[in-house]
Homo-oligomer: A and B are copies of this chain.
């Protein structure tokens, strides 16, 4: 690898060019930038050009490295989403977030289990398929709303709130599953292990939130007055990275939850807009394009058998409908108008890194067959492709003009 750094650097340049060219073409065709970036990844991926098989890029570790850069993009994106949130508005939406998030986990869990059962021998592995479907990924919806200037609309705030609830519940469900099915592993197994996992998650969330909200702004003020170059930005990077890592390592939560908490904390400082603006170039000029192209790169559409294709199509349908119904009805029960509830449901459809992580875990533990893993990846790609289109469409034809107007 060490001697292959020039080739890797060329690969990064190629992927960013592909992403931005895709985004440009997409915007020209009045589509969301994200769509073109994902399609650029699909074209460069194993389905077509298979960039990792080209002699210059055919080195061990390249695929993994691109994945790591993409993960950093996701983490930065969620940190920036946290920075943008007005917490007062966020707390206003907590009823909707709680209802939409909860129903949006229960529905995929139930429907996913039902769809998987005919393909499986037993209940536990069927439940695992439902579990994989339960974790949403709002980073793509968040970017779409950011582009539309709607991230701070009631729907946007409910979406981000519901995603936090969703994230916690999905990982709680994983803890329950692991505790019941595999009592030897995890934090001791059984009811005791389960209780420990829940206490640990809750404790981490409360402590990390209070710490981020109270301590990060003080640190930011202190660092601003020190002579260290880019001290404030280093603090922002460190806070986002550290809370992202700690969320998984200490809290048993997803990294993006921690990144979002760090953003919320830094958002409690007067320099929040400066920090956001100075994170933008690296995020949107470097890391995020690598994430979006990376999603496409990971999907090999050629490995599909007929049975696998049937399973995949069912999985995609259930993934879309279960979130739409679960989150939509939840948001509606939470007091949203039907159109608003519909938008929240649409925004929650896309699955992402948490789904892929759960699928990887399931593959290793034997809960998922290899072809089911490919199906999950296809489901992630499909929901990721469809969500920005549906979400943008739900905001009406005016949204694109507003977008252009906002940029001028």
Provide the bound-state CA to CA distance between A232 and B285, in Å.
Answer: 8
Knowing A71-B5, A147-B229, A229-B147 are in contact, say whether A13-B241 is a contact too (CB < 8 A).
yes
What B residues does A236 contact at CB under 8 A? Answer: 285
Provide the bound-state CA to CA distance between A13 and B248, in Å.
Answer: 14
Contact call B238/A13, Cβ cutoff below 8 A: yes
> Which one of A103-111, A201-209, A275-283 is at the interface?
A275-283
Which residues of A are interface residues toward B (Cβ below 8 A)? 1-3, 5-10, 12-14, 16-17, 20, 23-24, 27, 33, 56, 61, 64-65, 67-68, 71-72, 75, 147, 226-234, 236-238, 241-242, 244-249, 255, 278-286, 289, 357, 360-361, 403-404, 407
Residue of B nearest to A19 (CB): B234
30 contacts between A and B (CB under 8 A): A1-B68, A5-B255, A6-B249, A7-B249, A9-B242, A9-B245, A9-B255, A10-B242, A10-B245, A10-B246, A10-B249, A13-B241, A17-B238, A20-B234, A23-B228, A23-B229, A24-B231, A65-B65, A147-B229, A227-B403, A227-B404, A227-B407, A229-B280, A233-B282, A233-B285, A234-B286, A236-B285, A278-B278, A279-B281, A282-B282
| Distance from A293 Cβ to chain B, minimum over Cβ atoms (Å) | 12
What B residues does A64 contact at CB under 8 A? Answer: 1-2, 61
| Distance from A150 Cβ to chain B, minimum over Cβ atoms (Å) | 15
Contact call B281/A9, Cβ cutoff below 8 A: no
Q: Which of A9, A14, A65, A238 has the most CB of B within 10 A?
A: A9
- For the residues of A in contact with B, the DSSP-based class is helix
Provide the bound-state CA to CA distance between A84 and B7, in Å.
Answer: 26
Q: Which of A67, A238, A246 has the most CB of B within 10 A?
A: A238
Copies in the complex: 2
Select A230's contact among B3, B232, B281, beta carbons within 8 Å.
Answer: B281
Provide the bound-state CA to CA distance between A83 and B3, in Å.
Answer: 27
Q: Which 5 A-B pairs have the closest CB atoms?
A: A233-B285, A10-B245, A282-B282, A6-B248, A230-B284
Residue of B nearest to A146 (CB): B229
Contact call A228/B27, Cβ cutoff below 8 A: yes
What B residues does A242 contact at CB under 8 A? Answer: 9-10, 13-14, 17
Provide the bound-state CA to CA distance between A360 and B1, in Å.
Answer: 12
What B residues does A16 contact at CB under 8 A? Answer: 234, 237-238, 241
| Distance from A62 Cβ to chain B, minimum over Cβ atoms (Å) | 10
Residue of B nearest to A71 (CB): B5
Provide the bound-state CA to CA distance between A8 and B17, in Å.
Answer: 27
Provide the bound-state CA to CA distance between A238 and B241, in Å.
Answer: 24
Contact call A281/B284, Cβ cutoff below 8 A: no
Residue of B nearest to A8 (CB): B68
Provide the bound-state CA to CA distance between A242 and B404, in Å.
Answer: 30
| Distance from A399 Cβ to chain B, minimum over Cβ atoms (Å) | 14
Provide the bound-state CA to CA distance between A10 and B16, in Å.
Answer: 25
Contact call A20/B285, Cβ cutoff below 8 A: no
What B residues does A3 contact at CB under 8 A? Answer: 357, 360-361
Contact call B61/A231, Cβ cutoff below 8 A: no
Given A17-B238, A233-B280: 19 more A-B contacts, CB < 8 Å: A6-B247, A7-B249, A9-B244, A13-B241, A16-B234, A20-B234, A24-B228, A27-B228, A33-B228, A147-B229, A227-B407, A230-B281, A230-B283, A233-B282, A233-B286, A234-B289, A278-B278, A279-B281, A282-B282
Provide the bound-state CA to CA distance between A16 and B15, in Å.
Answer: 26
Residue of B nearest to A249 (CB): B6
Residue of B nearest to A16 (CB): B238
